[in-house]
């Protein structure tokens, strides 16, 4: 069994679904179910004994220690985090609580568990920390892409909190010998992406006839990776990564934001044309820039490609088409996350009947 934290969120849920379609090793999924956690993301696993869901906080040391002792996972994959930069600007405290303090508590629980394991299990144990390229700060148009040797220079409360968590993970390896791995990935996109992030927000707003808010001049560059390719990279690092190492993960897909928005509009024009015959582009609205907005991110993924033989399966063209189609096919999912109906469902499903070992496989 592996312990996945944050497995009801965007990347975590894709990872759990991907994991259980390609292998039979059970997953213990610990998620606090913040606004970003959605058990409907895991609907297809209902009744599947390989998936054990526990609602809880990575910062709850007693809970995490109890789960580790009970389920004896061979690895922890830590997705749990507050993940949205704009929210971190609006209210940074949750980011410090979960991304810094929560990661610290998770590391401590994992360390005590790992130290007490029999030698063979101790040798095999892994703590994989899922992080971001934003820890490296910003690039100019001509700077080379981020390598694993770039210095950390986080600029937002979100990226500072993720940088802090990366440093804790590193320190727990160097000081205590905890067998850690860290991945620093670029911008993900794909199914189950919460519609506060650029791509899903543009799709959802376009279909609702709302403005498509482009921050500043729209020429900020992000490096996009289809979410299932991020999942395959994490699996590969978990399988073969060298202890204590960090791996940059990216799809060599640098694009200015305005190009992304135009691409989304073009796909919607083709797949769900507006009734008035106009392009969705007419909904694009340039708005005030994000404070401290990083200008460019770009990932040099040669280390993971060379050392672990990982390559993304999707190009941006194939991935973005699949993504737009997924949102067109899943209007109920969008309506649920927007209205909070899934919150009521969670209340009924999981809180009236307490989630405990008894309900788990």
Question: Which residue numbers are catalytic?
Answer: 133-134, 158
Instruction: Identify whether the C-beta of residue 182 lies closer than 8 Å to the C-beta of residue 129.
Output: yes
The smaller minimum CB distance to ligand NAD, of residues 103 and 262, is found at 103
Phi, psi dihedrals of residue 196, rounded to the nearest 5°: -115, -20
- Which residue's CB atom is positioned nearest to ligand DAU? 132
Q: How far is the CB of 176 from ligand NAD (least distance, A)?
A: 22
Interface with ligand DAU, residue 187, by CB under 6 A: yes
> Of 71 and 263, which has the nearer Cβ to ligand DAU?
263
Contacts of 166 (CB under 8 A, 6+ apart): 129, 131, 135, 152, 182, 184, 246
Taking the complex as a whole, the smallest distance from the CB of residue 277 to ligand NAD amounts, in Å, to 34
Q: Which does 12 bind (CB under 5 to 8 A by kind): ligand DAU, ligand NAD, none?
A: ligand NAD
As measured in angstroms, the least distance from the Cβ of 154 to ligand NAD is 12
With respect to ligand NAD, which residue has the nearer C-beta, 33 or 265? Answer: 33
Chain positions 215 to 254 lying near ligand DAU, rule: CB under 6 A, are 215, 220, 222
E strands, the chain, are 2-5, 27-31, 51-55, 75-78, 126-132, 180-185, 187-189, 212-215, 221-226, 246-249, 254-256, 284-287
Question: Residue 56 in 3-state DSSP?
Answer: coil
Quote the CA–CA distance of 75 and 128 in Å, as a whole number: 8
Write down the least CB distance from residue 298 to ligand DAU, Å.
Answer: 10
Does 186 contact ligand DAU by CB under 6 A?
A: yes
**What's the alpha-carbon Rg for the chain, to the nearest Å?**
20
Q: Please check whether residue 161 is in contact with residue 97, taking contact to mean a CB–CB distance below 8 angstroms.
A: no
92 counts as binding ligand DAU under rule CB under 6 A: no
Rounded distance between C-alpha atoms, residue 149 and residue 151, angstroms: 6
Residues 212, 195: Cα–Cα separation, whole Å = 12
Shortest distance (Å) from residue 195 CB to ligand DAU = 9
**Token reading at 21:** 């379609």
If binding means CB under 6 A, how many residues of this protein chain bind ligand DAU? 19
Does 111 engage in binding with ligand DAU (CB under 6 A)? no
Binding mask 194-213 for ligand DAU (x = CB under 6 A): ---xx--x-----------x
Q: How far is the CB of 145 from ligand DAU (least distance, A)?
A: 12
Nearer to ligand DAU, 84 or 111 (CB): 84
| Residue in 5, 83, 165, 323 binding ligand DAU, rule: CB under 6 A | 83
Measuring CA to CA, which residue among 128, 48, 43 is closest to residue 80?
128
Q: DSSP readout, 234-293? A: HHHHHHHPPTT-EEEE--S-EEEHHHHHHHHHHHHHHHS--TTS--GGGGEEEEPPPTT-
Quote the CA–CA distance of 26 and 9 in Å, as a whole number: 18
Decide which of ligand NAD, ligand DAU, none touches 257; Cβ closer than 5 to 8 Å per partner kind.
ligand DAU
Q: Enumerate binding residues for ligand DAU (CB under 6 A).
A: 83-85, 132-134, 186-187, 197-198, 201, 213-215, 220, 222, 257, 290, 297
């Amino acid at each position: 069994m592996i312990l996945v934290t944050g497995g009801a969120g965007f990347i975590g849920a894709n990872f759990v679904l991907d994991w259980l379609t390609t292998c039979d090793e059970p997953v213990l999924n610990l998620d606090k179910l913040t606004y970003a956690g959605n058990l409907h993301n895991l609907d297809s696993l209902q009744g599947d004994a390989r998936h054990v869901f526990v609602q809880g906080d990575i910062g709850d040391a007693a809970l995490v220690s109890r789960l580790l002792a009970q389920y004896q996972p061979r690895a922890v994959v830590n997705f749990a985090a507050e993940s949205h930069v704009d929210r971190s600007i609006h209210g940074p405290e949750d980011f410090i609580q979960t991304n810094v303090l929560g990661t610290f508590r998770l590391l401590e629980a994992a360390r005590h568990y790992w130290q007490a394991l029999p030698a063979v299990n101790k040798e095999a144990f892994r703590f994989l920390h899922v992080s971001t390229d934003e820890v490296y700060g910003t690039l100019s148009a001509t700077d080379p892409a981020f390598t694993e040797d770039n210095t950390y220079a986080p600029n937002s409360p979100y990226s500072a909190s993720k940088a802090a968590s990366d440093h804790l993970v590193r320190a727990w390896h160097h000081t205590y010998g905890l067998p850690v791995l860290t991945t620093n990935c670029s911008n993900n996109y794909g199914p189950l992406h919460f519609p506060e992030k650029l791509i899903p927000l543009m799709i959802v707003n376009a279909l609702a006839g709302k403005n498509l808010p482009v921050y500043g001049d729209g020429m900020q560059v992000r490096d996009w990776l289809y979410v299932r390719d991020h999942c395959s990279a994490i699996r590969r690092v978990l399988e073969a990564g060298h202890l204590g190492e960090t791996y940059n993960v990216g799809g060599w897909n640098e694009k200015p934001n305005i190009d992304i928005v135009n691409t989304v509009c073009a796909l919607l024009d083709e797949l769900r044309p507006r009734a008035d015959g106009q392009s969705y582009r007419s909904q694009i609205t340039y708005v005030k820039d994000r404070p401290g907005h990083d200008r460019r991110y770009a990932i040099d993924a040669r280390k993971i490609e060379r050392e672990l033989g990982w390559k993304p399966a999707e190009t941006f063209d194939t991935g973005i088409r699949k993504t737009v189609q997924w949102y067109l096919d899943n209007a109920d999912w969008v309506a649920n996350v927007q209205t909070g109906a899934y919150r009521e469902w969670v209340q009924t499903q999981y809180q009236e009947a307490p989630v405990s070992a008894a309900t788990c496989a």
